[in-house]
Structure 1
Amino acid sequence: MLVINGREAAGILTMGSCITVMEAVLADLSEGDAVQSLRQVLPLEERNLLGLMPGYLRREGVAGAKMISIFPHNHGQSLPSHQGVVALFDAATGVLLAVVDGQSITAIRTAAVSAAATKLLAREDAESLAILGTGEQARSHLEAMVQVRGINRAKVWGRTPAKAREFAAAMSSRWNIEITAALSVQDAVMDADIICTATAATEPVLHSAWVKAGAHINAIGACRAHERELDTALVAGARLYVDRIESAIHEAGDYLIPLSEGAITADHITGELGGLLTGRIPGRGSSSEITIFKGLGLAVEDLAAAFHIYKQALALHKGVEISF
């Protein structure tokens, strides 16, 4: 068994390579070559969660699961909100092949999936970006967005203004683009072509009245049925895509709450990202249409990323081999 820590995993799984891996596995998911069950979530104290996410990649011949802890209040303690591991098994023999750091995978693959959605749904001329949140996913989404669109300016908003200013200063120099800290969500998003919501919010932080025509939104923060980042009017007036319909109808408050209010019908979801990748469903209908990708995170994404890391680690002699 190979143990691959977070530093090694992050060094191997570049954003560019991860976008390619995510596009392939999501297409496989839509074709039935990647399968998974719904995540099991065990509530802990103070909104903390422990999740188990199993899946199987038929083409790669591997199966496994991610076990992850989600502690939203860790942001205030200089700790990541998501921590865990991905266990990777040979699907033919049941042999445990690797244990890979899950935090680095989650940070990179989540943004890579949003990048895949943005490639397909954002207007080709999109150049302005808004990021809601200042944590790990905010940083990785900035990296992902600049790889798929010609972003030349960005605004970031966070509940703690000092963190937004720190983010803007650090990321401006890293990516050589103009990034400013916004004092309000409305200020951050009002001129944005692409909006990424990566917050710990349980009530809407992004409202329809603030979003301009033609914008694309990647909503990845809220992951439980009673939580959301987007208001009802925004979801109702947009074309909505998800990573997995089965997951969305059980877990996506951004969809379920407007549905319960009668603002949308059960068929409001246009389809899955994998269907877009394989050409089974339509994409953006016009340059003025607002599109939303609601990402919850999938087991098959974690397994595909872990398998890519495992193969590269073997080739590069990375990781620690342990008899198990």
Structure 2
Amino acid sequence: MKASRYKNLISRACLLFTVLMLSGCKFALLDPKGQVGLEIRELIITAVFLMLIVVVPVILMVFYFSHKYRATNSESQKEYAPDWAHSTKIEVVVWAVPVIIIAILAVITWRSSHYLEPSTPLKSEEKTMTIEVVALNWKWLFIYPDQKIATVNEVAFPKDVPVLFKLTSDDVMNSFFIPRLGSQLYAMPAMVTRLHLVANEAGDYRGIAASYSGEGFSHMKFTAIALPSKDSFEKWVDKVKSSDKTINDFNDYRTLAKPSIDAPVAYFSKVPDNLFNEVVMQYPGGMNHSGEDAGEMSHGQMHMHHEANQNEGEMGHHEG
């Protein structure tokens, strides 16, 4: 009776697994469209297969031992060894295999952590373009300093052209993430973090706020458009410049920054040259990020600089 129940449970589990695999669900992280995403996928797959070296044999042995040493198996009774306590061979296998796997994973993790550092520029023959990103409640503002335009909830760039995203937040800390292109990175008030990405295929890719900090943040979605060529990007820029909406000063920005759920895509044909810097500097301890100074920090430096900013704010100092 028990055996038939176990078989029933196993068959249901297999059916559920099959349905999930055939359901048509798209795993964005396993279907990357950019160089960084490809590297991350390889890292995920390598780590999973290494861990399965331990997991799969254990699962198989559970079924093997359950069957071999069941109470109704008279053959197993002959192997009964009540005084058995130690086996050097078993101990070596049980400890050596996980230790080796952990050592390999440690080396892979250390190397990939440095290689995939978000602030490290990507190698390319194309010149890197810069897009400034501000996390608002509850939408994303994208500023193009070279084109002097801005958009809400839509960002576009040519494929095969590396993009430097300079990230900050107007209010609470958030996380900028385009799953098909690669790494996510935090956007924080009074700070600037840098994220380098590139799209190797043209297409529309979903972007999200990976940190849900309360009501409204689950609606912080945007579209990242990788355009086929630089010419198509210039046409897109011209479309944005034809908009009658503008951000003339910081007061206009504060109006735009007011909380709004499911904000529609918006184009702004004009923005102040120093808008992004003003957003960063609006809080005590904010750092002027012009050039490559301390205001732009790598992922590993964020915590240290955040503490320094807090101390400076308490002492009443302000870096211009």
Q: TM (normalized to structure 2)?
A: 0.23
More strand by share: 1
| Larger RCO, structures 1/2 (Cα 8 Å, 6+ apart) | 1
Q: Higher Cα Rg: structure 1 or 2?
A: 2
Q: TM (normalized to structure 1)?
A: 0.23
